[in-house]
């Protein structure tokens, strides 16, 4: 670099030369470059000195040499701008974009528009345009682009720019038309509507007072909330999968979206049925794999996943206890079949002497409870298809099936919502709060909207309402 620029340019001192080299390659300090220049001179290097300095800010002493230079090796454009009092380096990509923006064949922007677009002062843009002798009538391409690109590439770029100009002009016309319509509406308001107002006031046609309707308090109802397929411990990188997910994000989604559901309940329910487990954990062992041994992408260690996941389950239940009593039912998932059992025992021990929390300890993969006129089933959903669940409920719960008029199944596993009525049963497939990991992304399973739902069950009428709290866009 020293050989190259010593032969191409002139500097008043070694320090000025060093500052110039530092502006191109800032990894080495000015002092480091100066020492390198001195070593180069000792080995026979010769500088072409100039009595002018590009750094002294004295316009009267500006050098007559060319004030711009293109370094093809680093793809950097160098120029001396008086307001900067030093050499300015601009990447080739930005330089070409600025030329394209200023040219009539490109975006035909003004200096102020250029300043806003490239976050520079108007003075900087004006001096930069002057240094390179740009005009609006110039073509949109630098000499380097014309030499490097094919004719077809240049034509395609020009066509794209013209299309953009057409769109911008069309948008401008659309906004002008909207403004005209708005003016017409204001004129209508000032004339015809004012006449209506005057007539109403003269005829004393005031709005009638309407008595508030008396409404009874809500009938007894329960809420089923199930954070199925939380996959606590899963890890995904947004640049690779389109979404970020780790234990911190999982906790944030669960607490925030559950709070959203609570605030939208019509009144205080008689109880909340919390169906948990169901791939609450992303893994099932110390090796970081599922129950069947499939290795998973993790955001932290298996031990921390288990400990933090248990604490999060407790925090979630305490959040719901503030609303009404909670009944906890377990659905063991295909990712965490054994860790779900451990979570069940942990919660049972935690709430053993707590009156408003009832943890049902049962290792079966299909769970049933009755409430009022409702028979309710819970399962993860990986073993039996949703279409087959009504017949299973009728067979496994014959007494409850006959005693209760309303039969409802809840399951997860497939990470998206669905409601099916079959065989006298409502089968509700629950959504997932989890983000997409690499496997889901590769398979294209990214279309479902992440979130958590709450289902309202009337004690006598069965399912009467559904609420959904979607995960906010990233």
Checking if the pLDDT of 82 tops 90, the result is no
- Please give the average per-residue pLDDT across 119-131, as a whole number: 88
Percent of the chain with pLDDT strictly greater than 90? 38
- Please give the average per-residue pLDDT across 373-388, as a whole number: 91
What per-residue confidence (pLDDT) applies to 54? 46
What per-residue confidence (pLDDT) applies to 59? 40
What per-residue confidence (pLDDT) applies to 56? 44
Number of CB atoms found within 10 A of residue 101's CB:
19
What per-residue confidence (pLDDT) applies to 21? 84
Q: What residues does each domain of the chain span? A: 1-65, 67-148, 221-470
CA distance 16 to 37: 11
- Eight-state DSSP code of residue 366: E
Checking if the pLDDT of 96 tops 90, the result is no
Percent of the chain with pLDDT strictly greater than 70? 81
| Higher pLDDT, residue 104 or 97 | 97
- Please give the average per-residue pLDDT across 428-448, as a whole number: 82
What per-residue confidence (pLDDT) applies to 11? 78
Predicted confidence (pLDDT) per residue in 204-251, tens digit: 555 555 465 565 566 789 999 999 999 999 988 887 878 888 999 999
Range in 100-104, 163-167, 342-346, 423-427 with the lowest mean pLDDT: 163-167
- Cα–Cα separations (whole angstroms), residue 131 to 128, 217, 233, 357, 439: 5, 78, 56, 76, 53
Specify the residue for token string 């509700």: 428
| Higher pLDDT, residue 158 or 227 | 227
Bridge partners, residue 367, by sequence: 378
CA distance 190 to 186: 6
What per-residue confidence (pLDDT) applies to 401? 94
What per-residue confidence (pLDDT) applies to 407? 97
- Please give the average per-residue pLDDT across 113-122, as a whole number: 88
Predicted confidence (pLDDT) per residue in 312-350, tens digit: 999 999 999 999 999 999 998 999 999 999 999 999 999
Contacts of 168 (CB under 8 A, 6+ apart): none
Max avg pLDDT among 20-29, 73-82, 172-181, 316-325: 316-325
Checking if the pLDDT of 463 tops 50, the result is yes
- Please give the average per-residue pLDDT across 31-45, as a whole number: 86
Checking if the pLDDT of 60 tops 50, the result is no
Bridge partners, residue 358, by sequence: 327
Superfamily of domain 221-470: Metallo-dependent phosphatases (3.60.21.10)
pLDDT band (50, 70, 90) for residue 385:
confident
pLDDT band (50, 70, 90) for residue 360:
very high
Range in 136-150, 414-428, 445-459 with the lowest mean pLDDT: 136-150
* Alpha helices (runs of H) in 189-301, residue ranges in sequence order: 194-203, 238-241, 247-263
- Please give the average per-residue pLDDT across 357-366, as a whole number: 91
Token pair in block for residue 384:
């039996």
The number of CA neighbours under 13 Å toward the Cβ of 377 is 32
- Please give the average per-residue pLDDT across 63-68, as a whole number: 51
- Eight-state DSSP code of residue 288: S
What per-residue confidence (pLDDT) applies to 158? 64
Token pair in block for residue 181:
């319509």
Per-residue burial over 215-228, b = 16 or more CB atoms within 10 Å of its CB, e = otherwise:
eeeeeebbbbbbbb
Contacts of 348 (CB under 8 A, 6+ apart): 359, 361
Range in 285-289, 317-321, 395-399, 436-440 with the lowest mean pLDDT: 436-440
What is the average pLDDT value for the chain, to the nearest integer?
83
What per-residue confidence (pLDDT) applies to 200? 56
Per-residue burial over 416-443, b = 16 or more CB atoms within 10 Å of its CB, e = otherwise:
ebeeeeeeebbbbbbbbbbbbbeebbee
pLDDT band (50, 70, 90) for residue 42:
confident
Q: What's the per-residue H, E or C state across 109-154?
A: CCHHHHHHHHCCCHHHHHHHHHHCCCCCCCCCCCHHHHHHCCHHHH
What per-residue confidence (pLDDT) applies to 372? 94
- Please give the average per-residue pLDDT across 70-87, as a whole number: 82
Nearest to 350 by CA among 276, 413, 269: 276
CA distance 40 to 3: 9
- Please give the average per-residue pLDDT across 365-375, as a whole number: 95
CA distance 284 to 335: 6
- Please give the average per-residue pLDDT across 370-380, as a whole number: 95
Radius of gyration of the chain (CA): 36
| Higher pLDDT, residue 282 or 33 | 282
| Higher pLDDT, residue 69 or 185 | 69
* Alpha helices (runs of H) in 132-246, residue ranges in sequence order: 143-148, 151-188, 194-203, 238-241
| Higher pLDDT, residue 156 or 400 | 400
């Amino acid at each position: 670099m020293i050989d190259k620029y010593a032969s191409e340019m002139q500097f008043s001192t070694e320090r000025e030369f060093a500052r110039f080299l530092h502006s191109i390659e800032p990894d080495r300090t000015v002092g480091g470059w100066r020492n390198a220049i001195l070593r180069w001179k000792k080995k026979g290097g010769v500088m072409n000195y100039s009595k002018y300095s590009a750094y002294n800010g004295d316009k009267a002493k500006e050098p007559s040499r060319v004030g711009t230079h293109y370094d093809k090796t680093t793809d950097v454009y160098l120029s001396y701008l008086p307001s900067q009092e030093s050499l300015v380096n601009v990447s080739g990509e930005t330089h070409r974009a600025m030329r394209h923006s200023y040219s009539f064949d490109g975006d035909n922007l003004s200096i102020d528009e250029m300043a806003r677009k490239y976050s520079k002062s108007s003075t900087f843009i004006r001096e930069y345009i002057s240094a390179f002798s740009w005009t609006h009538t110039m073509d949109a391409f630098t000499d380097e682009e014309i030499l490097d690109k094919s004719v077809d590439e240049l034509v395609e770029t020009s066509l794209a720019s013209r299309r953009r100009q057409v769109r911008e002009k069309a948008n401008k016309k659309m906004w002008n038309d909207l403004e005209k319509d708005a003016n017409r509406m204001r004129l209508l308001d000032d004339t015809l509507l004012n006449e209506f107002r005057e007539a109403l006031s003269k005829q004393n046609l005031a709005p009638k007072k309407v008595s508030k309707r008396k409404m009874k308090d809500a009938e007894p109802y329960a809420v089923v909330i199930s954070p199925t397929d939380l996959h606590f411990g899963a890890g995904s990188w947004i640049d690779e999968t389109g979404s970020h997910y780790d234990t911190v994000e999982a906790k944030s989604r669960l607490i925030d979206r559950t709070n959203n559901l609570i605030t939208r309940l019509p009144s205080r329910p008689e109880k909340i049925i919390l169906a948990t487990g169901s791939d609450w954990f992303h893994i099932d062992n110390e090796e970081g794999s599922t129950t069947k041994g499939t290795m998973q992408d993790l955001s932290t260690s298996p031990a921390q996943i288990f400990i933090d996941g248990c604490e999060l389950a407790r925090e979630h239940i305490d959040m719901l206890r503030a609303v009404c009593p909670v009944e906890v039912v377990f659905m063991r998932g295909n990712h965490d079949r054994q860790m779900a059992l451990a979570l069940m025992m942990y919660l049972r021990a935690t709430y053993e002497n707590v009156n408003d929390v009832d943890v049902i300890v049962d290792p079966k993969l299909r769970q049933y409870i009755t409430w009022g006129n409702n028979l309710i089933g819970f399962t993860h959903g990986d073993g039996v298809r949703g279409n087959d669940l009504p017949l299973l409920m009728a067979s496994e719960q014959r007494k409850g099936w006959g005693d209760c008029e309303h039969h409802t199944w809840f399951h997860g596993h497939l990470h998206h919502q669905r409601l099916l009525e079959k065989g006298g049963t409502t089968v509700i497939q629950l959504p997932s709060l989890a983000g997409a990991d690499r496997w889901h992304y590769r398979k294209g399973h990214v279309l479902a909207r992440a979130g958590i739902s709450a289902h309202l069950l009337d004690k006598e009428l069965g399912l009467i309402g559904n609420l959904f709290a979607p995960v906010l866009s990233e």
